[in-house]
Amino acid sequence: MTDPVLHGYFRSTASYRVRIVLNLKGVAYADAFHHLRKGEQRAPAYLALNPQGLLPALEIDGAVLTQSLAICEYLDETVAGPALLPVDPIRRAKVRAAAQAIACDIHPIQNLKILDRLRGLGLNDDQVNGWAAQVIDEGLDAFDRLIAGEEGPFCFGDQVTLADICLVAQLVNARRFGVDLRWPRLVAVEQACLALDAFSKATPQNQPDAE
């Protein structure tokens, strides 16, 4: 059986999430890189795999999967290893909500397509970056309050969950846009995660296509 193929880009936040999960689950995979700033994700060959022209996509088990959270949950459901979602339905819903608060509400605002459209509306780079930074700041502040009652080194206790995976990837974006990381709890979670090989090996700077 051939290894899965991850279509990604070192700086893609969503690709970073999937790399972490592949590592946590011990899944060997091959990389196929698509340079976002060069528009390679819009090449016909890639659009045939993912009509959205977004990264990542994962070729696995005879299928092509898209959307990072869907990919992560598929891996969680089909590959042995640490579970990314709690068994308890309420806890499970809370983890999913925290993950989606980042993946659905914060992260999309930094998508190149969105930022380019803002520039097309006449905003200069400082205005575009400032707007993105404000969205990240407000979103992370809400995320910090969502997990305020939780103990443990990770977002929801002693075990890594989908929420941690989304948070760590998003903090890379936060720094890129100059956001002041004024949340000690979030920074502590990031440090606990990056102490794990699965996270550290998945960081953008450790990818073969890193610039």
Mean pLDDT for 116-134 is 93
Which domain CATH number covers 47?
3.40.30.10
- Tokens 């006449």 appear where? 122
Phi and psi, residue 194, nearest 5°? -70, -15
Q: How many helices (H) and strands (E) does the chain have?
A: 9, 4
DSSP 177: T
Residue 204 lies in a domain: no
Do 17 and 111 fall within a single domain?
A: no
Domain membership of residue 111 as a residue range: 89-198
For residue 17, is it within any domain?
yes
**Residue range 68-79: mean pLDDT, rounded:** 98
Q: How far is Cα 69 from Cα 191, in angstroms, rounded to an integer?
A: 22
* Residue 132 shares a structural domain with residue 194: yes
**Does 19 have pLDDT greater than 90?**
yes
Please report whether residue 97 resides in a domain.
yes
Q: Where are the alpha helices (DSSP H) in the chain?
A: 13-24, 44-49, 68-78, 89-100, 112-120, 125-146, 162-176, 184-194, 197-200
- Tell me which of 48, 81, 114 is where a domain ends: 81
pLDDT tens for 130-155 read 999 999 999 999 999 999 999 999 99
Domain-located, residue 203: no
User: Is residue 102 one of the residues assigned to a domain?
Assistant: yes
**In 3-state terms, the chain is what percent helix, strand and coil (to 5)?**
55, 10, 35
Q: Is the pLDDT of residue 162 over 60?
A: yes
Name the nearest CA neighbour of 152 among 198, 189, 190: 189
**What distance in Å separates the CA atoms of residue 11 and residue 3, rounded to the nearest whole number?**
22
Residues 25-61: pLDDT tens digits?
999 999 999 999 999 999 999 999 999 999 999 999 9
Q: Give the pLDDT score at 112.
A: 84
pLDDT of 81 reads 93
pTM for the whole thing?
0.95
Residue 207 forms part of a structural domain: no
Q: What is the CATH number of the domain that holds 152?
A: 1.20.1050.10
> In terms of domains, do 97 and 122 share one?
yes
Same domain, 97 and 190: yes
Give the count of domains, the chain: 2
Q: How distant is the alpha carbon of residue 137 from its chain centre?
A: 17
